[in-house]
A and B are shown apart, each in its own frame.
Chain A
Amino acid sequence: MAVDASTQQSGAEPSGVGDPRSDTDTRPSGGSGPRSGADTRRSGVAVESSDVHARQIAGLDALELADRRKSGLASRIWSGLWPVVSALVLVLLIWQGVVLAGWWPEYVFAGPVTTLTELADRLGEAEFYQAVAVTMRRALVGFALAIAVGLVVGALVSRIRPLRRAVGSLITGLQTMPSIAWFPLAILLFGLTESAITFVVILGAAPSIANGLIAGVDYTPPILLRAGHMLGLRRLSLYRHVILPASLPSFLAGLKQGWAFAWRSLMAGELLVIIANQPSLGEQLHFARELADSPGLLATMIVILVIGIGVDLLFGAADNALRRRWGLHQVTN
Chain B
Amino acid sequence: MTTPLTTTQAGPVSGPEREHGPAVRLEGVSKVYGQGRDGLLALDEVSLTVAPGEFVCLLGASGCGKSTLLSLVAGLDAPTAGRIEVETGRVAMMFQEPALFPWLTVSANVEMALRVKRGGDVKGGEGAGPRSRAERRALAGEFLDIVHLGGFGGKRPHELSGGMRQRVALARALAQDADVLLMDEPFGALDAMTRDLLHDELERIWRERNLSVLFVTHNVREAVRLGDRVVLLSSRPGRVVESFPVELERPRRTDSAEVARQAAEITDRLREEVLRHGR
Interface positions of A (Cβ within 8 A of B):
1-9, 13-14, 17, 20-21, 24-37, 39-40, 50, 53-54, 56-58, 60-61, 64-65, 68, 223-224, 226-227, 229-233, 237, 241-242, 245-246, 248, 325-328
Contacts and interface: CB of A to CB of B under 8 A. Distances in A.
Contacts of A30: 14, 123-124, 126-127
Contacts of B208: 24, 35-37, 39-40
Given A4-B192, A64-B163, A227-B95, A36 B139 contact: no
Classify the interface of chain A: helix, strand, loop or mixed.
Answer: loop
B209 interface: yes
A4 B14 contact: no
Given A6-B196, A9-B200, 16 more contacts: A2-B221, A4-B221, A6-B255, A8-B196, A25-B16, A25-B18, A30-B123, A30-B124, A30-B127, A36-B205, A53-B200, A227-B99, A232-B1, A242-B101, A325-B156, A327-B159
15 contacts: A4-B221, A8-B197, A20-B250, A21-B207, A21-B210, A26-B16, A31-B127, A40-B208, A61-B164, A65-B160, A224-B99, A224-B101, A226-B76, A232-B176, A248-B103
B181 to A, nearest CB: 11
A118 to B, nearest CB: 47
B139 A34 contact: yes
Contacts of B1: 232
Contact of A34 (B101, B143, B250): B143
Interface in B91-131: 91-93, 95, 97, 99-104, 112-113, 115-119, 123-124, 126-127
Contacts of B104: 245
Nearest to A248: B103
Given A231-B113, A231-B116, A57 B197 contact: yes
Size bracket, chain B contacts:
35 or more
A241 B250 CA distance: 41
A231 B209 contact: no
B103 A28 contact: no
B196 A65 contact: no
Interface of B: 1, 14-16, 18, 52-53, 74, 76, 91-93, 95, 97, 99-104, 112-113, 115-119, 123-124, 126-127, 139, 142-143, 145-146, 148-149, 156-161, 163-164, 172, 174, 176-177, 192-197, 200-201, 204-205, 207-210, 219-222, 250-251, 253-255, 263, 267
B103 A325 contact: yes
B93 A33 contact: no
B92 A230 contact: yes
B251 A14 contact: yes
Nearest to B95: A223
Contact of A53 (B123, B197, B221): B197
